[in-house]
Structure 1
Amino acid sequence: MLTCEKYRGRGSEVVPSGCVPSEIDGTVDDACGVFVASTGDDGSAGTQAEPVATLAEALRRAVEKGAGVYACAETFKEAVEFPAGTKLFGGLDCANGWRWIGETAKTVVTPGEEAIALKVMRGEGAVRIEDVSVRAADAQAQGASSIAILVDGAEAELVRCELIAGNGADGAEGEDAPSEVPAQAPPGNAGRDACSDLDGTPGPDVTLSGGAQVVNECGGELSIGGSGGDGNATNGGGGDVGQVGVEGQGGAGEPATMSLSWSCGVTPGDASKGGGNAGANGPPGEAGVAASGLGTLSSSGYAGVSGGVGGTGTPGQGGGGGGGARGGAAICPGSLQGAGASGGSGGSGGCGGLPGQGGGAGGASIALASVEGKVTLKDCVLKARNGGKGGAGGDLQPGGAGGVGGVGGMGVGGSKNACDGGKGGQGGNGGPGGGGLGGPSLAIAYRGEGVKQQGQTTLTPGTEGAGGPGGSSNVAENAGADGVTAAEQEFP
């Protein structure tokens, strides 16, 4: 009976003579370690005659015994974590004396569902794996990655192994903003007709107030339509400026002098024009930033970059108030001197549209990921498949319509009509969400020390995932970048 040393230390030099199947002509001894077959039983002794059924159980016992694990050239449908210092020898013909046939048939590790198929954990002692084919399933959850092996800060040597990743999953689409346009903003208030305040004593001091300002509240931001100009006996008052912006000027009131031909036209700054100017449209929200870069590699796997959220549109400016008219003598009933008509207030501006959310990153396809590990490959085959597509950015919401201006009051007895308030500006559109980053396809992804390659090791990447388009049919041209494809890719 062969007596085995503890399987601790680096490389194969600590494996007792006669316990490396590929180096002997015949079978290894039961004393070499724990034996595992898919037809075994985890409650059995773990010998060749009574193997356990799962790699997880075999590795647990191997750690306790300080021995290696010997696996049949069969399929094990499980995700496996390798403790530091463990050894796995696959490719054994269990039906014929546990002889090595690794050149023609390997032990297959495939979870059959989304998972990192094989993970090497950090700790003391090198891990050695021979004649194993690790096959990760296609990722299913949005933005998930398919990784065959991840080495987390450990030292590992892989000999005659196949590492085959599945497809990365497509990234999630960014949430759209509401498709319903915000409600139209409140309209301006009407002015008062000339001589409409006869409860008081008509005379040169009588004033008729213009239409009151109106306010539209948009998520904490206000758009205010300017008050209408007052009507007076000797002159009309000018309308107030609509707020949020600078263009919605109030109309000029009718002056006392008769030399100006005052009318309700609309020309900012013109003292002869009394109409309230329309409010300026609100600027649109900024487009969400397009995703770019590599993404990150960590002990949890790969994480891509999502597209940015768009900005909220700015409310439109309130319209300017309309100018008030002057009254005078003998315009009111009984030939009394009274106030002229007052102007209507400007309509408030429409609310800005809400933004689209950013698209999610596509998942990666990675055959071998090494995070601060020390990995050596000898005569191995690494294959990645396709990275997932980046998710599309969410669609924007258009801005709301501005309110119409209030109607100016009517003149009496030959006095002029007061002027209407200006229309509120359109709210700015929300910004479309940015597209997500396409997933990479990498035979080797590493952070820290590069992976050493010996013998006939081959690296075959697949196709990178396309970046997701920006929201609202990529109107802002903010599509995410495509992923990368490479035999080897270093991560910061």
Structure 2
Amino acid sequence: MDDTCGVFVASTGNDGNVGTRAEPVATLAEGLQRAAKNGTGVYACAETFEEAIVLPAGAKLFGGLDCAKGWTWIGETAKTVVAPSEEGIALKVTRGEDPVRIEDVSVHAAGAEVPGTSSIAVLVDAAKAELTRCELVAAKGADGAKGEDAPTAPPEQASPGNAGTNACSDVDGTPGSDATLAGGAQVVNECGDDLSIGGGGGDGNVTNGGDGATSQGTAETARGGVGEPFSGAWDCGGAEPNGRGDDGSNGAPGDVGEAASGLGTLNTSGFAGVSGGDGGPGKPGQGGGGGGGAKGGAAICPGAMRGAGASGGSGGPGGCGGLPGQGGGAGGASIALASVDGKVTLKDCVLKAGNGGKGGAGGDLQPGGSGGPGGAGGLGVGGSKNACTGGQGGQGGNGGPGGGGLGGPSFAIAYRGEAVKQEGQTMLQPGTPGTGGPGGSSNVSENAGADGTVAAEQKFP
């Protein structure tokens, strides 16, 4: 072998050298760049090079050479090791028509650390590549990121309903006054774009009490209390007619974040897993109905005048729904060889994948806020009855927990397009896939992500 064969690389060299056996360059990247310009190959010592490299179409990389003994081949016992210290794809072959040759090279990908990233030893991007007596080793994929948690404290409790007015508050000095006392005004709880509104209290009148209003702002409504009739029995609870406003029902919980499942995707950048789905926000609680109003009747008000009875309190609005947890991220893959629309041949190679990363846990939900208490009914005077209380607002629904992320896969070979050809004594050894991430809030909704896939060879669509 003479110096015209190509560019020579040794760890003891210098990238400023001419690239001969006597004056080799120091890095594979420099050797590949020079060889691409003059159309020759790269000859590397059986040493370790801590760098990630990119081979263009037509590149030739020959390793397993003993630099101290005349650059003789010792590839059966020692190989050129490509072992970058940083995570990512250790060796990438870029697309092109001219075939790439790699001999007697051991490629070791670093373990992935950034959440959800993968460890891939070799990726061939729409290129022709022949690897002979090579060893491709991937390390562990990184665990997926945990989904963001919703706030742990529930939304602030809704405001209470407004109180009714006491009887005889309308007396203005005019004998036989027939004034009306307005019931407690409705209270609105704004929950983003949703509103929960307690029903207004029933009016107090002289001869009969007004009915409390039903609640508003939700798909269902809470009944308002019945006002005191002209004659007959009436009270604020128990037997009908019942003057108390009904309590609002609790809001519906948010949708549960979808558990991650599937294979993931393979592309020119590597592997992308499947994240868990985000949960949905809880719905506001239903507002309470307004309390019924009372009549004044023959009540003797201050100054010996007749006046309106007490008015009812308004219903409390429902509490706001809780915020959802976000989905957990997918675990990273461990792939010894990834071929994306490439034409790859392996001859007497060994491929070892590590373990896939764990899927990230889904984010925790926020509990719904408490509904407001109903407003108190006004007080009777001179023998007239007290008006009735508004209903309690319902509890806001809990937010939905985030879904768990997909566990990272482990493949000796992952390919899209044409299957990888294997010749001689090629060996494939996958590792262990990562477990799926649990769903948020201690997997209360059983929406954990699926475990990753494991295979010696895996085809991607």
What range describes the TM-score normalised by the shorter chain of this pair?
over 0.9
The counterpart of 1:263, out of the listed 230, 235, 245, is 235
Alpha-carbon distance, 1:204 to partner: 6.2
Asked if structure 2 preserves the Cα contact closer than 8 Å seen for 1:266 and 1:277, the reply is: no
Alpha-carbon distance, 1:338 to partner: 1.6
Segments of structure 2 that go 5 or more residues without pairing to the other structure are none
The counterpart of 2:276, out of the listed 307, 318, 322, is 307
- Distance (Å, rounded) in 1 between the aligned partners of 2:49 and 2:172: 97
Per the alignment, residue 198 of structure 1 pairs with 171
Per the alignment, residue 390 of structure 1 pairs with 359
Query: Aligned residue pairs: how many?
Result: 460
- Distance (Å, rounded) in 2 between the aligned partners of 1:328 and 1:179: 52
Q: Would you say 1:41 and 2:10 are equivalent positions?
A: no
Alpha-carbon distance, 1:247 to partner: 4.5
Per the alignment, residue 189 of structure 2 pairs with 216
Per the alignment, residue 416 of structure 1 pairs with 385
1:1-28 deviations in Å (ceiling 9; x for gaps): xxxxxxxxxxxxxxxxxxxxxxxxxxx2
The counterpart of 1:54, out of the listed 27, 46, 59, is 27
Residues 379 and 234 of structure 1, relative CA distance in 2, 3 Å threshold: same
Per the alignment, residue 372 of structure 1 pairs with 341
Residues 192 and 425 of structure 1, relative CA distance in 2, 3 Å threshold: same
Mapping 1:227-306, distance limit 5 Å = 227-243=200-216, 244-258=218-232, 261-265=233-237, 270=240, 272-306=241-275
Asked if structure 2 preserves the Cα contact closer than 8 Å seen for 1:252 and 1:275, the reply is: yes
The counterpart of 1:185, out of the listed 139, 145, 158, is 158
Asked if structure 1 preserves the Cα contact closer than 8 Å seen for 2:82 and 2:90, the reply is: yes
Alpha-carbon distance, 1:206 to partner: 1.4
Mapping 1:158-173, distance limit 5 Å = 158-173=131-146
Q: Would you say 1:99 and 2:68 are equivalent positions?
A: no
Give RMSD over aligned pairs. 1.2
The DSSP-based 3-state class of the residue aligned with 2:36 is helix
- Distance (Å, rounded) in 1 between the aligned partners of 2:64 and 2:195: 73
- Distance (Å, rounded) in 2 between the aligned partners of 1:149 and 1:92: 21
Alpha-carbon distance, 1:332 to partner: 1.8
The counterpart of 1:143, out of the listed 109, 116, 124, is 116
- Distance (Å, rounded) in 2 between the aligned partners of 1:361 and 1:201: 78
- Distance (Å, rounded) in 2 between the aligned partners of 1:200 and 1:164: 98
Q: Would you say 1:63 and 2:32 are equivalent positions?
A: no
- Distance (Å, rounded) in 2 between the aligned partners of 1:123 and 1:155: 8
Amino acid at match of 1:66: G
Alpha-carbon distance, 1:202 to partner: 5.5
- Distance (Å, rounded) in 2 between the aligned partners of 1:221 and 1:412: 40
Residues 284 and 200 of structure 1, relative CA distance in 2, 3 Å threshold: farther
Task: Calculate percent identity across the aligned residue pairs.
Answer: 75
Amino acid at match of 1:126: P
The DSSP-based 3-state class of the residue aligned with 2:276 is coil
Asked if structure 1 preserves the Cα contact closer than 8 Å seen for 2:221 and 2:287, the reply is: no
Asked if structure 1 preserves the Cα contact closer than 8 Å seen for 2:248 and 2:286, the reply is: yes
